[in-house]
Amino acid sequence: MEEREMRTALIHPRDTDLEKLYPAQTIQMPIDHFHNDSIYEPHTNETFLLRYWFDASHYQPGGPVIVLQGGETDGAGRLRYLQKGIVAQLSQATNGLGVIFEHRYYGESHPTDDFSTKNLRFLTTDQALADQAYFAQNVVFPGLEHLNLTSHNVPYIAYGGSYAGSVVAFLRKLYPDVYWGAIASSGVPEAIYDYWEYYEAARIYGPRECIEATQKLTHAIDNVLINHTDTEYPQRVKNIFGLGNITRNDDFANAIAQGIAGLQGLNWDPAVNSTEFGHYCGNISSTEVLYPGIAEREEAKELLAVGGYDEVKLVNQLLNYIGYVDATAVKGCKRRGKSQDESFTNYDSKFYQQDDITQEWRLWAYQYCFEWGYLQTGSGVPADQLPLISRLINLEFTSTVCREAFNITTPSQVERINKHGGVNISYPRLAHVDGEWDPWRAASPHRIGLPGRESTVSEPFILIEKGVHHWDENGLFPNETRPGLPPKPVADVQKAEAEFVKAWVEEWHKARGDMMYGDDMGDL
């Protein structure tokens, strides 16, 4: 495999235009797979063009088709996994054909002419699952028309990360005769309406100084905003942050709460890693003033006292927090030439009414409003625990988009998702791979507090040490690796994935009586 990878690296340099290397293909997909379900009324018999990409360079007869579910984004953004990530690795190890499969409505796979609420009725997890099953049963790969590479004739293995990880987990359970196996990486099979636990990973695993400072400063500011509403102090807090023109207190609390959310962006792969979480923590943890002159020290000290804190070092940390918000939020608003309410409000009815085909923000918002939830609040944090974001960020605030954009006024129908098993989902040849530090771990089978599971070849159950969000998905060319890159926990899990997928493919052939298969499969 190393020689093959080296050849690939020479042919496909890092600056290759992946969309030229892997031209987009399309398949005619039914818009409506469920004519007996009233939520899709009025029904339609029409089809749309759903995009996919494939790489058959590793394929040999008997190899599987590895399908990566693109999830809630443009599928073209997943092509790097076809070139050198998890799809390439599994294809090489099994002599397989790799596929990136675009989720309906995302990218250019549009079933409708606009994203009006009426036309988003076909954007459900059930329809997406049926799409992926239909693909496996009907696809004819261009240039390989002489081969029957449908699920009737070859084993199909699905991979997905995050939301897409949940999709492939459900796919394996609901369509077991179509998809022989699936890997759910950082999958979130438990839909949770109030997902305050999103910030638990940061609280548990983040740098202590950063977390303690964030909790105390958030608590102090909340004490001012919530307990002193009829005084001058809430306005003074906004003023010291340079955000005095934000009208609503909850909008202000949300505007200053973005830094702590950066944990999810950490990645071992330098090409996609975000340093924002470290930047935020480095600022707020420092007890030395990093932004001289950013605000009046005595004003900061008084506001902290009103909020219930008189720690000397916390004054400097508040000043650094103010400097961080100025650099990452206030100055950006000024550069755009917009008012602070225009830049930061969550209550923009005019914006929410936009529903033409360019309004891609509506897609995942509709999905979580309708059936997934995951509203990330500070109000849901237990009363005996200091939150990392304001308690003003509550369900009323976070569900604004649901009411304003889609007229969804009731909680998300999470039972539509959780009927498949939630965090307890289990099925033969369904692997769960999660990150120890992942903010989405609380919605996964590796949720802290659940009984552990034995990891087997049939049902692998792997937690990546110090890993975050689907860290096994990325990959490097051999000439890009160096000591510690990829990290050993990632390299180990990718090797394990190749081994158990090879075992699954061999099992498929043995079940069909193909006893000679397996001798020529690639090695990692």
Peptide bond before residue 42 is cis, with ω within 30 degrees of 0:
yes
Give me 447's structure tokens.
Answer: 């949720």
3-state secondary structure of 22: coil
| DSSP-derived secondary structure for 290-350 | SSTTSS-HHHHHHHHHHTT---HHHHHHHHHHHHHHIIIIIHHHHHHT--HHHHH-S--HH
Which positions ≥6 away from 29 have C-beta within 8 Å? 47, 48, 49, 50, 104, 109, 111, 131, 134, 135
How far apart CA 299 and CA 296 sit, in angstroms, is 5
> Among this protein's residues, is 438 annotated catalytic?
yes
- Dihedral, 439, 440, 442, 447 alpha carbons, nearest 10: -100
**What's the one-letter identity of residue 90?**
L
**Catalytic residue selected from 162, 166, 390, 444:** 162
Give me 515's structure tokens.
Answer: 């006893």
**Catalytic residue selected from 285, 438, 444, 472:** 438
How far apart CA 192 and CA 413 sit, in angstroms, is 10
CA dihedral over 284, 435, 51, 408, signed as positive or negative: negative
How far apart CA 312 and CA 326 sit, in angstroms, is 22
How far apart CA 132 and CA 69 sit, in angstroms, is 8
User: Which of 431, 441, 424, 420 minimizes the C-alpha distance to 183?
Assistant: 431
Give me 316's structure tokens.
Answer: 């400097």
Give me 412's structure tokens.
Answer: 């998300």
How far apart CA 311 and CA 308 sit, in angstroms, is 10
User: Which of 332, 330, 208, 217 minimizes the C-alpha distance to 281?
Assistant: 208
- Strand ranges in 70-204 using DSSP code E only, listed in sequence order: 97-101, 156-161, 181-185, 192-194
How far apart CA 510 and CA 504 sit, in angstroms, is 10
User: Which of 173, 126, 151, 103 minimizes the C-alpha distance to 32?
Assistant: 126
User: Which of 138, 140, 190, 185 minimizes the C-alpha distance to 158?
Assistant: 185
For the beta carbon of residue 436, count every other beta carbon within 10 angstroms.
Answer: 18
User: How many helices and strands, by DSSP H and E, does the chain display?
Assistant: 21, 10
For the beta carbon of residue 57, count every other beta carbon within 10 angstroms.
Answer: 15
Catalytic residues: 162, 438
